[in-house]
């Protein structure tokens, strides 16, 4: 029985790896088949081979690298600002009741407002400057991180806190040695979610008026019916978002090793 069980487990793992390897090629083959079968309009739903050609031409022109650089810079600035402020304020509202009562109601009203709703007023406030793009990415990131930090501190184990206070542990040590380590896993989950949200928000940010960026180029290509470039831009956004998520997950597992 144990030998058969080990063999079955080995076969299951091999099958899972096989599925993982063939998943993306199978998707591309099916996409190519559907686009060229005549079931759909190939001009509006081009096959991946045409998308690859359009993306290659975009890269050869040199514009792709400029667009990528501008989009990545907006994500980095907005994500860094939103994460930093979100963590600091979240820790404060989670630990200090006065700060929570002061800022909590305001944040609960502002938090549901989607970044794209700010596009018209951001254009009025910042014009076509980069500050408007940074602000929209920041807005999408900040509240997610704030909620994670706030809840992470609030959900610290009360038994540990009670035991530490009974032993005479000062409040600053309670925060550093009990509350913060307990909150960090939740905070990192919030930041990981915010990384994906930053890419969603980038689309709204670049629609607020700019002259370069992947989402901006997608919009221009759509207006010119260059659907291959549109699809290529969408795939690039998905690819870079996936890479950023994987990289962050890799480092977070090493930084928050006790989870």
The domain segmentation of the chain, as residue ranges, is: 1-40, 46-255
> Which residues, at least 6 apart from 175, have a Cβ–Cβ distance to it below 8 Å?
95
Residue 240 Cα to chain centre, angstroms: 10
CATH number 1.10.3720.10 given to 46-255: yes
Q: What is the pLDDT of residues 32-77, one digit of tens each?
A: 888 888 888 888 888 898 899 999 999 998 889 999 999 999 999 9
Q: pLDDT, tens digit, for every residue of 21-42? A: 888 888 888 988 888 888 888 8
Quick check: 74 and 136 in contact, CB under 8 A? no
Please report, rounded to a whole number, the percentage of residues in the chain having pLDDT higher than 90: 23
Tell me if the pTM is above 0.75. yes
pLDDT bin (cut points 50, 70, 90) of residue 168 is: low
What are the CA-CA distances from residue 125 to residues 71, 90, 144 (Å)? 21, 27, 24
How far apart CA 11 and CA 149 sit, in angstroms, is 42
* The two structure tokens encoding residue 139: 């807005």
Closest listed residue to residue 214, CA positions, set 195, 199, 196: 199
């Amino acid at each position: 029985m144990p030998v058969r069980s080990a063999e079955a487990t080995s076969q299951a793992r091999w099958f899972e790896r096989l599925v993982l390897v063939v998943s993306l090629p199978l998707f591309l083959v099916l996409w190519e088949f559907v686009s060229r079968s005549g079931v759909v309009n190939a001009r509006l739903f081009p096959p991946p081979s045409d998308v690859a050609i359009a993306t290659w031409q975009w890269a050869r022109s040199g514009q792709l690298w400029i667009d990528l650089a501008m989009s990545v810079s907006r994500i980095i600035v907005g994500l860094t600002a939103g994460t930093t402020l979100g963590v600091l304020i979240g820790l404060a509202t989670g630990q200090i009741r006065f700060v929570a009562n002061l800022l909590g109601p305001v944040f609960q009203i502002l938090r549901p407002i989607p970044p794209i709703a700010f596009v018209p007023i951001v254009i009025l406030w910042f014009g076509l400057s980069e500050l408007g793009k940074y602000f929209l990415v920041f807005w999408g990131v900040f509240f997610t991180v704030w909620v994670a930090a706030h809840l992470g501190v609030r959900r610290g184990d009360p038994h540990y806190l009670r035991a530490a206070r009974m032993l005479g542990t000062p409040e600053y040590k309670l925060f550093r040695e009990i509350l913060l380590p307990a909150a960090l896993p939740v905070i990192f989950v919030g930041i990981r979610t915010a990384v994906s949200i930053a890419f969603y928000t980038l689309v709204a940010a670049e629609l607020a008026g700019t002259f370069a960026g992947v989402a901006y180029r997608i919009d221009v290509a759509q207006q010119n019916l260059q659907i291959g470039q549109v699809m290529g831009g969408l795939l690039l956004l998905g690819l870079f978002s996936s890479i950023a998520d994987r990289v962050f997950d890799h480092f977070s597992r090493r930084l928050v090793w006790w989870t």
